[in-house]
Amino acid sequence: MTRTLVQAVQDAGVCDPRLLDAVRATPRKGFVPPEFAARAERDEPIPIGHQQPTSQPTLIARMIDALRLSETDEVLEVGTGYGYQTALLARLARQVYSVERHADLAARARANLESAGLRNTEVVVGDGSVGLAEHAPFDAVVVSASARRVPAPLAAQLAEGGRLVMPIRTHEADMVTLFVKRHGRLERQRLLLPACFVPLVQAGTDP
Ligand code: SAH
C-alpha cells in the first residue's frame, strides 16, 4: 500500500493534530494541474506552469508547523501557486492573504480554494515582496520563494511576536529559516531545513 500524505507529513516530524487534520481534509489533487492528478498523493513537487512547481507537501507542512498558527491569526503568504499551502493555512488561521505575481496562477488558486469551500482567503495579484500594507500587521508570514534576505516590508508588516518563515538563499542551498519579531526587530530563531526554491522575483533586486 502506498504511504498517504498524512503519514509522510507525520514521518517528517509534524505532530500537531490540527495540521495533520488540515492535510487530511485537503486532497492535493484539487491543487495540481489535472494532468498531474495521479501524482498528487505523492510527496513530490509538481509543475504548475511558468517554470514554477508546487512544493512537496512535507516541506509545506514543516514550514506551516513552524508558524505555530492559532485560529485567531491573520497570515500573509507570498507565492500562492495553485493554492495548496494557502488551503492548509486557511484551515488553521482566521484569514489568509496570499500574493501571487502570475495572474493566471492566482485565478487558478482562487478557483481551487473556492472548490474546497475555503472562504477565509484572499488571493491578490502583485509583487509579494512588498507585502500587503493595507492588511498589516500579520501574525505570521510565509514566503514560498527564496532571496538572500527577508524583504524589509515583510519584516515591517509582521506583528510584534509574529513568526515569519522563508527560504534564505546561500551558496549551498536555500535555508528555510524561522524568524520571530521581538522589540520591533526580526530575530533569526532556527533553521528548519535546506531545500530548493524558485527565486523571489523582486523589482530591481538580485534574488
Ligand atoms: N506556496 C506554493 C508555492 C508555489 S511556487 C505551493 O506550495 O504550491 C512559488 C510561487 O511564488 C510561484 O507561483 C511564483 O510565481 C511566486 N512568486 C515568486 N516571486 C513572487 C513575488 N515577488 N510575489 C508574488 N509571488 C511570487
CA-CA distance, 106 to 91, in Å (whole number)? 19
Reply yes or no on whether 98 is catalytic: no
Look-up: residue for cell 501571487? 100
Question: What is the whole-number distance in angstroms between the Cα of residue 138 and the centre of ligand 1?
Answer: 19
Residue 4: per-residue pLDDT: 93
**How many distinct structural domains can be found in the chain?**
1
Q: Which of the four pLDDT bands, split at 50, 70 and 90, describes residue 3?
A: confident
Residue 114 covered by a domain? yes
Containing structural domain, residue 21: 5-195
Residue 86 covered by a domain? yes
Per the DSSP assignment, residues forming a β-bridge with 24 are none
Around ligand 1, the residues with Cβ closer than 6 Å are 50, 52, 54-55, 60, 78-79, 81-82, 84-85, 99-102, 105, 127-129, 144-145, 198, 200-202
Mean pLDDT estimate for the chain? 96
Q: Is the pLDDT of residue 66 over 70?
A: yes
The ligand 1 atom at the shortest distance from the C-alpha of residue 50 is: 15
User: Which amino acid type is present at position 95?
Assistant: Q
Span 11-31, average pLDDT: 97
Sheet holding 138-143, edge to edge: 121-125, 95-100, 74-78, 138-143, 158-169, 174-182, 185-195
Question: What is the whole-number distance in angstroms between the Cα of residue 15 and the centre of ligand 1?
Answer: 26
Residue 136 covered by a domain? yes
Residue 2: per-residue pLDDT: 58
Torsion of CA 127, 130, 133, 137, to 10 degrees: 120
Residue 206 covered by a domain? no
Domain holding 111: CATH number?
3.40.50.150
Taking CB atoms within 8 Å and a gap of at least 24, the contacts of 17-23 are 18/91, 18/92, 19/61, 19/64, 19/65, 19/88, 19/92, 21/91, 22/87, 22/88, 22/91, 22/92, 23/57, 23/61, 23/88
Indicate the top mutation candidate among 44, 50, 52 to test ligand 1's pocket, ranked by most ligand atoms within 8 A of CB: 52
Q: What percent of the chain has pLDDT over 90?
A: 95
Q: Is the pLDDT of residue 203 over 80?
A: no
Span 195-207, average pLDDT: 81
Residue 200 covered by a domain? no
Question: CA–CA distance from 104 to each of 82, 123, 124 (Å)?
Answer: 10, 11, 11
Q: Which of the four pLDDT bands, split at 50, 70 and 90, describes residue 1?
A: very low
